Amino acid sequence: MTYDVVIGVEVHAQLRTKSKMFCGCGTTFGLSANSQTCPVCLGLPGSLPVINRAAVEMAVRAGLALNCTIGAHNRFARKNYFYPDLPKGYQISQYESPICEHGWIEVAVGNGTKRIRIRRAHLEEDAGKNVHETGTSGSRVDLNRAGTPLLEIVTEPDMSSAEEVVAYLKGLRDVLMYLDVCDGNMDEGSFRCEPNLSLRPAGQQAFGTKVELKNINSFKFVKDAVEYEIKRQTKVLNEGGKITQETRLWNIERGETAVMRSKEEAHDYRYFPDPDLVPLQLEQAWIDGFRAGLPELPAVRKKRLEREYGLSEYVSNVLASDKNVLDYFESAASEAGRVGLTKIEVGKELANCITVDFQGQLNKLTYAPNLTQATTPGTGPVPGPFWVDPANLMELVARKIKGEISGPIYKVVLEKMVGTGKTASEIIEAEGLKQVSDEGAIEKIIDEVLAKSPAQVAQFKEGKQQVVGFLVGQVMKASGGKANPGKVNELLKKKLGA
């Protein structure tokens, strides 16, 4: 039997507000347990919540960027359940009237794009964390995260493969990061995703029973978990079994999903409007102001890069997958005029330098910072000197483009820049790495190489053209990479009488 795969995704994005959703406590990650709490987020009797304006603004901006209708009248509801990390015994969320509804996002799949519909995006508060430490008795509760603002974004069941789910999540995460409403950190849980997955016999209209997947904190695990679950459900159905509606956790070590709990129905939560909070009325002019102020979004920015810098779609995708890296690229490229080049002239080399060579140098460092860290001052595993000023990087790339330094020297200089904060000129000057274009000097090296390579010269005379490449390589090596490769080629051919 063949089945169609049906997937809808729920994302909890932590909003980057300074304070929590309904109180003035801070939202910093990783502080000592329960140090960011107050009577409101501890759920003490008599305390009253107040809506965080910044969180509402962020939700509106995200909703507009996702082509949603913004609910002019929306209200908060209590979602009732008991768990130790939820001191009030209910979570303040939105139910009947979410702040954003009926949107869509276009994402890159295969060679084209696919439109994924957004069913709703609503504001809610996060719960705290239960901490289970080995070597201590019992479990503890840390309420620092309790009350942190979340935007829960729910799609229609429009996806049908792991590839589409990953593309959707990357596209959504990009949008939220471009808007600066979420830091997108999957590791720290600021961008959590829960795919819902079901199968139905090919051609059948009605959906099958779905399973919700949790504990997925990287794109790699999204792919693995979805692919595993498709296989598992196919097997169950083929063996005549039934899928149980449940929540399953992705187990990283075992590479499989396992039952966490059976899934509640919405009515189990006894949702009702929160009487402590007034309904939220948003003025149209206020909403329109945010619409007008939206930044250039990833998809649009990608198209512009391809036009302005002559980049391929592949390269623009690589750059645009991280806003910090892309900002860095554009900041470096803005220096093109100063070094006498146009955007089109620098585009490809600069992009290649950042995504391939720069990353290659970072990989050599023991603390292995990634490109985001290397292109954002003040971030990273250690407060490092790996950050390279974009203007300096542009200067280096410009020298390579103009042929002032050879490929090997360019790499050496880049390596020294990443470690030290020095400019390319400083390093080239100090290390005597200037390119040698002087014909006399190059001829001298060629003569030496030819004298040492009688066999290759003989081969060339017999008509073997390929040995020229070998000889050029030998000359470049003998010059310490400093000889101008164009000149070497020209002079070598002259000497060989080619």
Binding-site ranges for Zn ion (CB under 5 A):
23, 25, 38, 40-41
Burial of 265: CB neighbours in 10 Å, binned 0-12, 13-18, 19+? exposed
Q: Which stretch binds ligand ADP (CB under 6 A): 18-26, 81-89, 202-210, 483-491?
A: 202-210
Q: What is the DSSP string of 342-356?
A: -HHHHHHHHHHIIII
- Whether 330 and 308 have beta carbons less than 8 Å apart is answered as no
SS3 assignment, position 265? coil
Contact between 214 and ligand ADP per CB under 6 A: no
Task: Count how many Cα atoms sit within 13 Å of the Cα of residue 407 in the half-sphere of its side chain.
Answer: 8
Q: Which is nearer to ligand ADP, 213 or 476 (CB)?
A: 213
Distances (CA, A) of 161 to 156, 198, 246, 303, 366: 14, 11, 20, 26, 37
Cβ closer to Zn ion: 38 or 252?
A: 38
Site for ligand ADP in 264-283 (CB under 6 A): 266
Given 14, 144, 198, 217, the residue binding ligand ADP (CB under 6 A): 198
Task: Give the residue, chosen from 10, 246, 256, 389, that forms a contact with ligand ADP under the rule CB under 6 A.
Answer: 10
Q: How far is the CB of 10 from ligand ADP (least distance, A)?
A: 5
Q: Which stretch binds ligand ADP (CB under 6 A): 92-100, 207-215, 276-284, 450-458?
A: 207-215
The Cα-based distances of 349 to 130, 346, 393, 450 in angstroms read: 49, 6, 11, 33
Residue selected from 98, 157, 347, 390 as contacting ligand ADP according to rule CB under 6 A: 157
| DSSP category for residue 267 | G
Sole binder of ligand ADP in the list 17, 36, 155, 233 (CB under 6 A): 155
CB of 196 to ligand ADP, least distance (A): 3
| Binding range to ligand ADP, per CB under 6 A, among 20-28, 194-202, 222-230, 379-387 | 194-202
The DSSP symbol for 22 reads S
Residue among 71 and 347 whose Cβ is closer to ligand ADP: 71
Name which of 177, 171, 168 is nearest 15 in CA terms: 177
Q: Is 196 in the site for ligand ADP (CB under 6 A)?
A: yes
Q: How far apart are CA 401 and CA 486, in angstroms?
A: 13
Separation of alpha carbons 317 and 321, rounded Å: 6
**What are 47's two structure tokens?**
């305390």
**How far apart are CB 125 and ligand ADP at their closest, in Å?**
18
Indicate the residue among 156 and 227 with the shorter CB distance to ligand ADP.
156
Contact positions with ligand ADP (CB under 6 A) in 406-465 = none
* Shortest reach from residue 30's CB to Zn ion, in Å: 17
- Tell me the C-alpha distance between 165 and 172, whole Å: 10
The string of DSSP letters for 312-341 reads -HHHHHHHHTSHHHHHHHHHHHTTTGGGT-
Nearest to 102 by CA among 86, 82, 117, 116: 117
Q: Which stretch binds ligand ADP (CB under 6 A): 6-14, 328-336, 347-355, 480-488?
A: 6-14
Determine the angle formed by the axes of helices 298-309 and 162-178, rounding to 10 degrees: 80
- Kindly write out the interface string for residues 109-148 of this chain, putting x where it contacts ligand ADP by CB under 6 A and - elsewhere: ----------------------------------------
Q: From the list Zn ion, ligand ADP, none, which binds 83 (C-beta under 5 to 8 Å, kind-based)?
A: none
Footprint of ligand ADP (CB under 6 A): 6-10, 154-157, 196-198, 207-208, 210, 263, 266
